Amino acid sequence: MLKTLGAQIKEFKKDSFLTPVFMILEVLMETVIPLMMASIIDNGVEKGDIHHIYVMGGLMIVTACVSLFAGVMGGKYGARASTGFARNLRKAMYENIQTFSFSNIDKFSTAGLVTRLTTDVTNIQMAYQMILRMCVRAPITLVCAMIMAFFINAKLACIYLAAVILLGIILAFITVRAHKYFTQVFPKYDDLNASVQENVSAIRVVKAYVREDFEKERFKKASENIYKMFVKAEGVIVFNNPVMMAAVYTCIILISWIGAKMIVVNSLTTGELMSLLTYCMNIMMSLMMLSMVFVMITMSIASAERICEVLNEKSDITNPENPDHEVTDGSIRFDHVTFRYNKTSDTPVLDDINLSIASGETIGIIGGTGSSKSSLVNLISRLYDVSEGAVYVGGKDVRSYDLDTLRNEVSVVLQNNVLFSGSIFDNLRWGNPDATDEQCRHACDLACASEFINRFPDGYNTHIEQGGSNVSGGQKQRLCIARALLKNPKILILDDSTSAVDTATDAKIRKAFAEEIPNTTKLIIAQRISSVMNADRIIVLNNGVVDGFGSHEELMETNAIYREVYESQTQGSGDFDEGGAK
C-alpha cells in the first residue's frame, strides 16, 4: 500500500523532503529558547546583570524569528506537497479507471468511485500533511525536550518519561479501537453518494411518481448510518483529550511540588524549574499532536486501502505485445464461443456460439429479454473477453488487435444512449474529432436526425444538456447513430438503438444504411421483427444459445420461436418475450 501511494508523490518529493527539514529546524529553535529563559533568570535577573539580559534577549528574538521562518516555510512546502500528492492520486485513479474493461468497472459502483476520488483523497491529503509536519515535529519535540529535561534534572525528567509511556499505551488502545469503526464508515459514504446520484439523475421519475418522501427517507437512512458510525468512532477518540490534559496537569503539579522543594535545598534553580515546566508543556503538546496524527492516520488508512484498490486494479483486457493495427474487412466469426461474466459461474451467459458473418452483410439479432443479445455483440469490440473459444474480425482474433484500432473500426451504438453537454456538433465529433461540418450533416441525414435538428433555432449549434435531457429518446438515439457513423467503421452495431423511433423512421434509417454504407457490416439488435426482417440473415437467440440463423423466409419455415413472434407482432398484439413463451 505504501509503495502504491508513494509512487504518486512524483514531482513533489523535494517539497516532501523540505517540509520535515524546516520542521526540525523549528523544533530545535523552540527547544533552545527555554534554556535562554533560564539563563536570563539565573544569570541576569538574580545577579542583576543587565548586559546578560540584553544579550540573551537579543538571541531569543533571533531564535524566535528563525523558528517563525522555519514554521512558515514548513507550512508552505507541506501544503504544496499534500495538495500535489492529492492531485496526483486523483489523476492516477481517473486515468486507471479509463483503462478499465467493463468487467473491471463492474467491480466498483459509480458512487464508490466518486467517494474514492473525493472524500478518500481528501483524507489522504490531510493525513499526508500531518505526517510531513506534525509527525516530524511532535516526536522531535518530544525527544529534544526529554533530552533537555534530563540534562537539567534527571530525577524530575523521570516524571515525563513515566507519563509518555502511560500515554503511549492509552493512545495505541484508542487507535486500534477507532480504526475498526473508521474502516466501516467510509463504505457508508458510497451508499450516501449512490442515493444522491440516483435521485438527481432520475429526478423526473421521482417527481412523476411523487416519491420525494421516499427518497428523503432513503437519504436520511444513509446519512443516519454515517452519523452512527462516526459517533462510535468519536466515542473512542473523545477519551484522547481528557487523558492528555490529565497527564499534563499531573506533570505540572508534580514538577512544581517536587521542584519547589529542590529549590529550597538549592539542588535546582528557579530558571531551571521554569525551563522544566516549559519542556513539560512541550512534551505533552507533542503527545497531543501525535494523538491527532494517529487519529488522522487511523481514518486515512481505510481511505488509503480503498484508493489502492482502484490504483492496483489492472484491466483484464490489454493489448498484446505486437498488436495488429489494421482491420482488413468487416467479416465476423464466432468459433465455439462461451462467455461468463463471473469466471467461477457454472452457467455461461453464451454457450458454444458458432457464427460466420461476411463483410458487408446486414445481420438482425432478436431474442427475449435476458437472451444475451448485448453480451454477444460486446465481444466483437472486446468490451469483454470470451471465456472459451475465439471471436475473429477481419480474419484475425480480436485479442490480436490494438484496442484503439479495433474499437475505431467497430462502432457500437449502445443500448443506453448517452449524450454529453455541449453543442450537437460537439457530440457528433465524439465519433470523429476531425469531421467537417458537412460530414456531420451527412451522417445526420443517414440517421434521419437532420430533419429535427434543422427545426431547432440554432440548428447544429443547439446546446445539449448533460445526458441529453433536452432532447427526446428518439432524437437522442438518432444523434448517437450519426455519431457512430462518423467513425466510418467497418462494423456497425446498433444495440436496440431504434426502439424509440417510429416504424417509418426506422425503415428510412435501414434504407439509408443499405444504400450509403453497403460495405459496412451491420448488426441490428431489435425487439421488432419489422426492424430486421429485411436483413440478409437473422440470428435468433434463446437463453444464450443460437436457436436459429438464416433469412426471414428460412426462419419462418424452420424456426418455431421466430414464426410465433412474427405472427403475434403482425397481428399487433405481441413482442418477442410473449411470442417466445408460447
CATH number of 556's domain = 3.40.50.300
The residue that leads in pLDDT, 17 or 278, is 17
The residue that leads in pLDDT, 82 or 294, is 82
The average pLDDT across 399-420 equals 85
Q: Which pLDDT score, from 0 to 100, does residue 389 have?
A: 93
CB 267 within 8 A of CB 156: no
Q: Which pLDDT score, from 0 to 100, does residue 237 have?
A: 75
For residue 456, give the nearest of 472, 443, 467 by alpha carbon: 472
Three-state DSSP at 490 gives coil
Backbone phi, then psi, for 190, in 5-degree steps?
-60, -45
| One domain, residues 295 and 358 | no
| One domain, residues 377 and 233 | no
Q: Which pLDDT score, from 0 to 100, does residue 580 have?
A: 45
Q: How many CB atoms lie within 10 A of CB 465?
A: 12
- One DSSP character per residue, 43-75 reads IIITTT-HHHHHHHHHHHHHHHHHHHHHHHHHH
Q: Which pLDDT score, from 0 to 100, does residue 292 have?
A: 72
Q: Which pLDDT score, from 0 to 100, does residue 1 have?
A: 78
Query: How close are the terminal C-alpha atoms of the chain, in Å?
Result: 56
Is 80 exceeded by the pLDDT of residue 241?
Answer: no
Question: Which cell goes with 518?
Answer: 453497403
The average confidence (pLDDT) of the chain is 84
Is 90 exceeded by the pLDDT of residue 88?
Answer: yes
Q: Is residue 436 part of a domain?
A: no
The average pLDDT across 184-198 equals 74
Could you give the CA distance from residue 294 to residue 9 in angstroms, rounded to a whole number? 21
| One domain, residues 507 and 571 | yes
**Low-confidence winner among 132-146, 233-247, 438-452, 464-478 (lowest mean pLDDT):** 233-247
The type of residue at 491 is I
The average pLDDT across 172-181 equals 74
**What is the sign of the dihedral through the CA atoms of 575, 577, 579 and 580?**
positive
**Low-confidence winner among 191-200, 214-223, 488-497 (lowest mean pLDDT):** 191-200
- One DSSP character per residue, 262-296 reads HHHTTSS-HHHHHHHHHHHHHHHHHHHHHHHHHHH
Could you give the CA distance from residue 287 to residue 281 in angstroms, rounded to a whole number? 10
**Percent of the chain scoring above 90 in pLDDT:** 18
- Last residue of one domain, picked from the residues 312, 343, 371: 312
| One domain, residues 342 and 260 | no
- How many structural domains are present in the chain? 2
Q: Which pLDDT score, from 0 to 100, does residue 21 have?
A: 92
218-228 burial, b at 16+ Cβ within 10 Å, e below that, comes to beeebeebbee
Integer angstrom CA distances of residue 363 from 216, 523, 532 = 47, 5, 8
Residues 6+ apart with CB under 8 A from 86: 121, 122, 124, 125, 128
User: Residue 228: left if φ>0, alpha if ψ -120 to 50, beta else—which one?
Assistant: alpha
Q: Is residue 126 part of a domain?
A: yes
The average pLDDT across 290-319 equals 81
For residue 305, give the nearest of 103, 81, 124, 94 by alpha carbon: 124
Is 90 exceeded by the pLDDT of residue 338?
Answer: yes
Q: How many CB atoms lie within 10 A of CB 322?
A: 8
Question: Which cell goes with 561?
Answer: 420461436
- DSSP structural state of residue 421: S
* Residue whose cell numbers read 493512545: 171
The residue that leads in pLDDT, 208 or 357, is 357
| One domain, residues 201 and 66 | yes
Q: Is residue 428 part of a domain?
A: no
Could you give the CA distance from residue 105 to residue 313 in angstroms, rounded to a whole number? 10
| One domain, residues 192 and 108 | yes
CB 121 within 8 A of CB 87: no
For residue 113, give the nearest of 97, 135, 98 by alpha carbon: 97
**Percent of the chain scoring above 70 in pLDDT:** 97
| One domain, residues 38 and 181 | yes
Q: Are strands 362-367 and 521-525 parallel, antiparallel or unpaired?
A: parallel
Is 90 exceeded by the pLDDT of residue 337?
Answer: yes
pLDDT digits (tens, 9 = 90+) for 261-278: 888 877 778 777 888 888
Q: Which pLDDT score, from 0 to 100, does residue 582 have?
A: 37
| One domain, residues 271 and 355 | no
pLDDT digits (tens, 9 = 90+) for 542-563: 888 998 999 999 999 998 888 8
- CATH code where residue 130 lies: 1.20.1560.10
Q: Are strands 332-339 and 422-423 parallel, antiparallel or unpaired?
A: unpaired
Q: Which pLDDT score, from 0 to 100, does residue 572 have?
A: 57
| One domain, residues 337 and 224 | no
User: Residue 572: left if φ>0, alpha if ψ -120 to 50, beta else—which one?
Assistant: left
**With bands split at pLDDT 50, 70 and 90, how would you rate the model's confidence at 238?**
confident
Q: Is residue 297 part of a domain?
A: yes
Q: Which pLDDT score, from 0 to 100, does residue 434 have?
A: 87
Q: Which pLDDT score, from 0 to 100, does residue 581 have?
A: 40
CA count, 13 A, side-chain hemisphere, 580: 17
Q: Which pLDDT score, from 0 to 100, does residue 575 have?
A: 54
> Burial level of 355, CB count in 10 A (0-12/13-18/19+)?
middle
| One domain, residues 51 and 127 | yes
Domain that holds residue 497: 332-414+490-580
Q: Is residue 381 part of a domain?
A: yes
* Bridge partners, 540 (sequence order): 366, 548
Q: Is residue 7 part of a domain?
A: yes
Q: How many CB atoms lie within 10 A of CB 105?
A: 14
The average pLDDT across 453-463 equals 90
The average pLDDT across 453-469 equals 86
Q: Which pLDDT score, from 0 to 100, does residue 393 have?
A: 93
For residue 449, give the nearest of 400, 391, 386, 498 by alpha carbon: 498
Q: Is residue 425 part of a domain?
A: no
Is 90 exceeded by the pLDDT of residue 391?
Answer: yes
The type of residue at 410 is V
| One domain, residues 155 and 207 | yes
* Bridge partners, 492 (sequence order): 411, 522
**Low-confidence winner among 21-25, 143-147, 349-353 (lowest mean pLDDT):** 143-147
Could you give the CA distance from residue 171 to residue 291 in angstroms, rounded to a whole number? 7
CB 367 within 8 A of CB 353: no
Q: Which pLDDT score, from 0 to 100, does residue 335 have?
A: 93
| One domain, residues 364 and 292 | no
Q: H or E element: which one contains 336? A: strand 332-339
Q: Which pLDDT score, from 0 to 100, does residue 578 have?
A: 52
Q: Is residue 181 part of a domain?
A: yes
**With bands split at pLDDT 50, 70 and 90, how would you rate the model's confidence at 579?**
very low
Three-state DSSP at 5 gives helix
